[in-house]
């Protein structure tokens, strides 16, 4: 790092006998032997009062072009009044210089000034800023002013504590707060103004000036949370105990040498202990689990202590309960400037412990990263505190401009992306900062930003623009899509969003109490959701119309161990749940009593065990199967197996191996199917995915990419070969796709076109799909028509140009589809939604379905069935007859009229599904109910189904599902089957199920998808075997509607 200086025009005042310094200082910053930028700073040196004060800063590049120039204008102020004094009166002793304006001029190397920003300051008594105005970009309407009044107590010279702060735009007040102070200047209360719904905080202090009590504003029930603090008895500085109105108490013990805690105790009574070295650096941390097991540490730190080195290291050892004598170590190397040079971490490759080394980092003379090398590996026997100076083959290079912004990134495959900086006028004809980003394919995106670095316009490579508007405080007020459709936002005086007007969802409003809790959400339909609190704990969510979805919460009281302060019980539309926690706040037990129509309530119990790193160690399923997760020497998942009495041990994953990037290289399943992953060594993209069973290749996928990383081809040379090709438009929307199946005439061609905002305008698909019944035509040319007013994003009409078949759609005020008419089969579908946009019921001429959800919005019950045709007053009515049921007891267990299925996951990915054999545990031990007993809740649940259909569709449903407890749950309390058939999922890069195999590894189902998720191939190799509902993206596809359930939304693949 080399910096040189030159100076001009020094002045010495012989009268004052003071050196006023130089009026110009030129700082020259060098890079690779040449001057890269200069900073020319000008200073006042003409008089005593202003000596040494900076006037101008100018940054110029090596060619002498201006980039940024800042002007500082100072004035002379009288201390006692703040008045600006005569600049020529230099003998005044009670004056001082203060900044009046700060003006920045941006040139970006151009000769003509482009953008100017301005800040203005005014002063009151004693040097306090009484007025501040940020003009922003001086040509834009983004100016904001702040007015500040101060308390004045001259007896104690308390003159610098603000009384009132008001923030305005023009005459509109956006923020205002005021505070009262005590005799010693301590704040005793603070009031934040919010249009009458003001929030007021109170503060008490001990004799040492520490806050001893805080009283928060009241909630909607008038409850003000009080928090009390106690401090150490020695130096009276460190908080040793905190308790509140809910009775919760936490505490800490300190090492006074360093002012750092040596022990903390949370509200549940669990401790964390700390030790420090002689320099006050952290040495060890012991978490609750290691304290309980008697281990010396959870994390241990060691530091390099030898003088004279240019490279320093610190070692972090993570205690690994999986391998108690072999910690997972991380060593971090840094230089004397604190910059990270290298990180080493223990990993396991091919069953052998290794050490991954982050790639070398090369900095230029300005401290910017110019070369980032890819990681390497080294033998674990090598001393981990020795810096590995070797370079890997591939690296990424970055160049910068004179303002340290990246200009070009060159990737290991020698592709490049570029950034160009300058100015340009946005759609509102306001000059903005402009950044043009060019990706590896040469596609350009232009971003316009204001002086706050807030994006005001993004123009994509297809020349479509999205606009963003902000208020003077930087809050997003409008976003306008490429077709001119605006979404507006409103905020209160505390910066909380209170309103949103969306082109499809309409106006949604949010209300808050003085404590800041959300109390009401009002939809554009007029529907309301209310929230009630005990102090700051949410205890009830009330749905004004659909009361059967109401939720109640209960929290652990003081002295309840690990449950203290945590959610311990919840009643919602699914029944009642009880939660138990471990000593680090992790959920370890869930008892859920389910309420299902026409059935007695019953309970499933699930248990978990985690280590200190939040890795799941064990799950006990409701039928007493214990699933154990094991991890390798680098801390990554290695092995999964289950054990169930009378069934024995089942291995779900035999082994997982990883490379030095901790990317998976192989997964060996318990049925001896194996999946191998291969990656491009330059860009680390997956290039091959191969799944093998005992008979050979099932999947042998090869991936091809364009320069920007978009998949252009997927080729399968395994069982039933196929190939799919993809092209994209300028903003990487799918433009076309082509597929060939197994070297046959079965293929497809897809062509897409979109509106400027990304709405599908045309979907032209030709080809065939295949399943065990043969082939079906895929031919359609769908033309999409959208609403113009009211709901411009809503699809109104689809017509197939090939056949003339038409679909019509209607939507509610909130943007939910409520009606779909398929003219081709003369079918009309109706859909009903909850207040918070969850699909509650569906009915058409062929089927009906009702969906129930828990408090988090996850679906837990599905009732489906056929239709009873009724003629009423000469009009044909279709009434749903709900006879079939699926209970999603959790992600781990589903129950239907045939039995129950267990699901097994690793890091969120479904490994396999297994047909349960019985031995459900403690199903009759119900959780104590909360607001209503189970019979009443079941009655309300049934009432909700009826009201939903009658109110939404004017039809009465028949709720004829079987008694789930009698037919399934009670039956499966004992062992029903001697075995548990198991089916493994083999997925592609999107997590979509591509193959299913049974316990022997034999294939049972093959699935291939069109680009938007429609089935292209669905071949079953044993039609009596398990058929997965989990398909595209690993999500469930509902047979009754054809919708894919994605959690927050349902997805229609054929129309997408």
Q: Is residue 6 in a domain?
A: yes
Share of the chain above pLDDT 70, in %: 99
Let me know if residue 109 belongs to a domain. yes
Predicted pLDDT at 91: 59
Q: What would the mean pLDDT of 521-530 be, rounded to a whole number?
A: 97
Output the pLDDT for position 224: 99
More confident residue, 625 or 83: 625
Predicted pLDDT of residue 315: 98
Both tokens of 916, joined, read 């349960």
Beta partners for residue 881, in sequence order: 866, 958
Residue 718 lies in a domain: no
Per-residue pLDDT tens for 455-513? Answer: 999 999 999 999 999 999 999 999 999 999 999 999 999 999 999 999 999 999 999 99
> Is 689 contained in some domain?
no
Please list, residue by residue across 460-474, b when 16 or more beta carbons sit within 10 angstroms of its beta carbon and e when fewer do.
bbeebbbbbbbbbee
Domain region containing 807: 779-825
Distance CA(46)–CA(48), nearest Å, equals 7
Task: Specify the pLDDT at position 1027.
Answer: 85
Element (H, E) at 288: helix 288-293
The whole-number average pLDDT for the span 850-862 is 98
> Domains in the chain: how many in total?
2
* Beta-bridge partners for 983: 913
Average pLDDT over the chain, rounded to whole?
Answer: 96
Q: How confident is the model at residue 539 (pLDDT cuts 50, 70, 90)?
A: very high
pLDDT level of residue 416 (50, 70, 90 thresholds): very high
The SS3 of residue 1004 is: strand
* Structure tokens belonging to residue 1039: 């047979």
Distance CA 747, CA 26 (A): 70
- Is the pLDDT score of 90 beyond 60? no
Asked which of 793, 809, 825 is the last residue of a domain, the reply is: 825
Domain end among 74, 96, 127? 127
Domain boundary among 109, 127, 145: 127
Residue 64 inside a domain? The answer is yes
Element spanning 936, H or E = helix 934-953
pLDDT 10s digits, 567-612: 999 999 999 999 999 999 999 999 999 999 999 999 999 999 999 9
**Per-residue pLDDT averaged across 950-967, rounded?**
97
Over residues 981-996, mean pLDDT: 96
Note the pLDDT tens digit of each residue in 240-296. 999 999 999 999 999 999 999 999 999 999 999 999 999 999 999 999 999 999 999
The whole-number average pLDDT for the span 523-547 is 98
Is residue 87 predicted with pLDDT exceeding 70? no
What was the pLDDT predicted at 92?
58
Indicate the pTM of the whole model.
Answer: 0.94
- Asked if residue 835 belongs to a domain, the reply is no
Please state whether 908 falls in left (phi above 0), alpha (psi between -120 and 50) or beta.
left
Mean pLDDT, range 551-558, rounded to an integer: 98
Give the three-class secondary structure for 940.
helix
Q: Say if residue 93's pLDDT is above 80.
A: no
864-906 per-position pLDDT tens digit: 999 998 887 778 788 999 999 999 999 999 999 999 999 999 9
Kindly state the percentage of the chain with pLDDT values over 90: 92
What's the mean pLDDT in 107-136?
A: 94
Alpha helices in 433-558 (DSSP H): none
What Å distances lie between residue 993 and 896, 910, 1052, CA to CA? 22, 9, 18
pLDDT band at 15 (very low <50, low <70, confident <90, very high): confident
β-pairing, 260-265 vs 271-276, is antiparallel
Give domain status of residue 11, yes or no: yes
User: Are residues 896 and 884 in contact, defined by beta-carbon separation less than 8 angstroms?
Assistant: yes
pLDDT tens string 720-747: 999 999 999 999 999 999 999 998 999 9
Do the strands 260-265 and 249-255 form a parallel or antiparallel pair, or are they unpaired? antiparallel
| Interatomic CA distance for residues 483 and 186, integer angstroms | 54
Secondary structure of 514-548 as H, E, C letters:
CCCCEEEEECCCCCEEEEEEECCEEEEEEECCCHH
Check residue 1022 and give its pLDDT.
78
In this prediction, residues 379-391 reach a mean pLDDT of 95
φ, ψ of residue 71 in degrees (nearest 5): -110, 135
More confident position, 81 or 939 = 939
36: number of Cβ within 10 Å: 17
Identify the pLDDT of residue 88: 62
What's the half-sphere exposure (Cβ side, CA atoms, 13 Å) at 793? 20
Q: What is the mean pLDDT of residues 681-694?
A: 97
Instruction: Report the pLDDT value the prediction gives residue 1025, as an integer from 0 to 100.
Output: 67
Q: Return d(Cα 655, Cα 653) in angstroms, integer.
A: 6
Structure confidence at residue 780 as a pLDDT band (50, 70, 90): very high
Taking 90 as the threshold, does the pLDDT of residue 141 lie above it? no
Q: Which two tokens stand for residue 544?
A: 């004004």
Residue 705: inside a domain, yes or no? no
Residue 89 has what pLDDT?
57
DSSP sequence for 171-213: TEEEEEEEEEE-TTS-EEEEEE--TT--EEEEEEE-TTS-EEE
Model confidence pLDDT, tens digit, residues 29-59: 999 889 999 999 999 999 888 999 999 999 9
Closest CA to 707 of 413, 919, 395, 465: 413
């Amino acid at each position: 790092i080399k910096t040189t200086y030159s100076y001009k025009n020094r002045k010495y005042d012989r009268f004052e006998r003071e050196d006023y310094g130089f009026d110009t200082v030129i700082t020259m910053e060098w890079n690779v032997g040449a001057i890269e930028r200069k900073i020319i700073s000008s200073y006042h040196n003409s008089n005593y009062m202003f000596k040494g004060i900076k006037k101008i800063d100018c940054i110029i590049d090596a060619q002498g072009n201006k980039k940024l120039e800042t002007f500082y204008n100072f004035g002379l102020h009288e201390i006692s009044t703040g008045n600006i004094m005569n600049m020529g009166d230099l003998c005044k002793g009670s004056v001082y210089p203060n900044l009046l304006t700060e003006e920045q001029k941006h040139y970006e190397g151009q000769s003509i000034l482009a953008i100017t920003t301005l800040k203005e300051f005014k002063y009151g008594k004693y040097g306090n800023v009484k007025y501040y105005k940020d003009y922003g970009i001086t040509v834009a309407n983004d100016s904001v002013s702040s007015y500040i009044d101060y308390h004045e107590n001259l007896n104690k010279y308390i003159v610098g504590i603000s009384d009132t702060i008001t923030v305005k735009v023009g005459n509109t007040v956006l923020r205002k707060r005021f505070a009262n102070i005590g005799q010693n200047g301590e704040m005793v209360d603070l009031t934040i103004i919010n249009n009458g719904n003001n929030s007021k905080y109170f503060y008490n202090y001990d004799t040492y000036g520490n806050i001893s009590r805080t009283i928060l504003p009241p909630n909607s029930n008038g409850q003000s949370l009080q928090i009390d603090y106690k401090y150490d008895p020695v130096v009276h500085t460190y908080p040793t105990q905190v308790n509140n109105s809910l009775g919760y108490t936490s505490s800490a013990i300190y090492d006074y040498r360093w002012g750092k805690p040596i022990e903390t105790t949370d509200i549940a009574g669990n401790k964390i202990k700390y030790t420090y070295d002689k320099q006050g650096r952290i040495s060890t941390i012991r978490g609750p689990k290691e304290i309980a097991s008697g281990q010396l540490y959870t994390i241990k730190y060691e530091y390099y202590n030898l003088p004279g080195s240019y490279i320093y290291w610190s070692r972090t050892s993570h205690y690994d309960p999986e391998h108690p004598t072999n910690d997972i170590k991380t060593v971090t190397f840094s230089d004397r400037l604190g910059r990270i040079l290298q990180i080493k971490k223990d990993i396991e490759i091919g069953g052998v412990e290794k050490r991954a080394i982050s790639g070398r980092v090369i900095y230029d003379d300005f401290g910017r990263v110019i070369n980032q090398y890819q990681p390497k590996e080294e033998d674990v026997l090598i001393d981990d505190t020795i810096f590995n100076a070797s370079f890997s083959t591939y690296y990424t290079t970055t160049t910068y401009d004179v303002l340290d912004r990246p200009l070009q990134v060159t990737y290991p495959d020698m592709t490049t992306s570029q950034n160009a900086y300058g100015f340009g006028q946005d759609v509102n004809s306001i000059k903005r900062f402009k950044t043009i980003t060019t990706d590896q394919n040469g596609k350009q995106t232009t971003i316009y930003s204001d002086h706050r670095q807030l994006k005001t316009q993004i123009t994509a490579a297809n020349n479509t623009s999205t606009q963003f508007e902000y208020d003077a405080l930087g809050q997003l007020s409008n976003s306008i899509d490429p077709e001119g459709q605006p979404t507006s936002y409103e905020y209160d005086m505390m910066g909380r969003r209170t309103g949103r007007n969306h082109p499809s969802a309409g106006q949604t409003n949010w209300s808050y109490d003085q404590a800041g809790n959300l109390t009401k959400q009002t939809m554009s339909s007029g529907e309301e959701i209310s929230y009630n609190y005990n102090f700051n704990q949410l205890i009830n969510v009330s749905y004004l119309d659909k009361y059967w979805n109401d939720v109640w919460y209960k929290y652990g009281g003081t002295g309840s161990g690990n449950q203290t302060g945590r959610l311990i019980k919840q009643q919602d539309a699914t029944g009642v749940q009880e939660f138990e926690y471990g000593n680090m706040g992790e959920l370890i037990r869930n008892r859920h009593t389910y309420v299902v129509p026409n059935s007695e309530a019953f309970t499933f119990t699930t248990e978990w065990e985690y280590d200190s790193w939040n890795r799941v160690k064990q799950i006990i399923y409701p039928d007493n199967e214990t699933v154990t997760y094991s991890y390798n020497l680098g801390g990554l998942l290695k092995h999964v197996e289950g054990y169930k009495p009378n069934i024995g041990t089942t291995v779900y994953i035999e082994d997982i191996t990883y490379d030095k990037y901790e990317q998976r290289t192989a997964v060996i399943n318990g049925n001896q199917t194996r999946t191998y992953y291969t990656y491009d060594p330059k860009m680390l993209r997956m290039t091959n995915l191969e799944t093998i069973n005992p008979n050979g290749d099932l999947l042998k996928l090869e991936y091809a990419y364009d320069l920007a990383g978009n998949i252009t081809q997927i080729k399968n040379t395994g069982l039933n070969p196929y190939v799919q090709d993809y092209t994209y438009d300028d903003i990487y929307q799918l433009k076309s796709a082509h597929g060939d199946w197994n070297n046959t005439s079965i293929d497809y061609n897809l062509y897409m076109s979109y509106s400027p905002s990304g709405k599908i305008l045309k979907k032209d698909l030709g080809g065939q799909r295949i399943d065990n019944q043969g082939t079906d035509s895929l031919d359609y040319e769908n033309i999409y028509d959208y609403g113009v007013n009211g709901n411009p994003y809503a699809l109104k009409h689809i017509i197939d140009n090939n056949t003339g078949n038409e679909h019509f759609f209607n939507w509610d005020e909130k943007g939910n589809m409520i009606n779909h008419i398929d003219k081709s089969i003369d079918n009309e579908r109706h859909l009903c939604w909850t207040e918070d946009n969850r699909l509650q019921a569906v009915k058409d001429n062929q089927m009906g379905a009702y969906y129930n959800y828990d408090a988090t919005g996850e679906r837990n019950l599905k009732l489906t069935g056929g239709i009873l045709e009724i003629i009423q007053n000469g009009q044909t009515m279709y009434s749903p007859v709900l006879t079939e049921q699926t209970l999603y007891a959790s992600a781990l267990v589903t129950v239907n009229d045939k039995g129950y299925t267990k699901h097994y996951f690793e890091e969120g990915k479904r490994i396999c599904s297994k047909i349960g054999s019985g031995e459900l545990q403690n199903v009759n031990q119900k959780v104590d109910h909360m607001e209503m007993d189970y019979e009443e809740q079941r009655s309300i649940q049934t009432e909700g189904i009826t009201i939903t259909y009658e109110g939404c569709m004017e039809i009465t449903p028949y709720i004829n599902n079987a008694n789930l407890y009698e037919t399934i749950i009670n039956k499966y309390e004992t062992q029903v089957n001697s075995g548990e058939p198991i089916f493994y999922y083999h997925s592609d890069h999107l997590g979509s199920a591509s193959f299913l195999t049974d316990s022997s590894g034999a294939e049972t189902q093959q699935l291939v998808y069109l680009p938007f998720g429609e089935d292209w191939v669905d071949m079953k190799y044993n039609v009596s075997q398990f058929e997965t509902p989990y398909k595209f993206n690993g999500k469930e596809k509902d047979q009754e509607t054809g919708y894919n359930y994605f959690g927050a939304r349902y997805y229609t693949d054929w129309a997408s």
